[in-house]
Amino acid sequence: MQRAALRILCGIDFDALLAASPQEKTGAARRLARLIERERMKGVRGHWSYDLNRHIALKQALDKLKTSLTAPAVAIPAAGS
């Protein structure tokens, strides 16, 4: 459900992003950080469209993306091994 919400809110396909290159993940992480900051500023200003659940979902997505960036690469066995 969170993946669908992220797709609707940001236009980011999280499943495809997890399989993407580190450069694409870094760019998406910057975009998510910017969206989180915008959402935070809405909350600080008491804007009517601020949504705590959206803020939390963006933060969780960023945390998962950062984890996938720092995770060691899975070794692919050589052919014939």
How many angstroms separate the CA atoms of 42 and 44, rounded?
6
Q: From the CB of residue 65, how many other CB atoms can be counted at a distance below 10 Å?
A: 20
For 26-48, the pLDDT digits (tens) are 888 898 899 999 999 999 999 99
How many angstroms separate the CA atoms of 68 and 16, rounded?
12
Over residues 54-75, mean pLDDT: 80
- DSSP designation for 73: P
Q: Which of 55, 8, 3 is nearest to 32 (CA)?
A: 55
- Domain boundaries defined on the chain: 2-70
pTM score: 0.75
Q: What average pLDDT does the structure give for the chain?
A: 81
How many angstroms separate the CA atoms of 28 and 26, rounded?
5
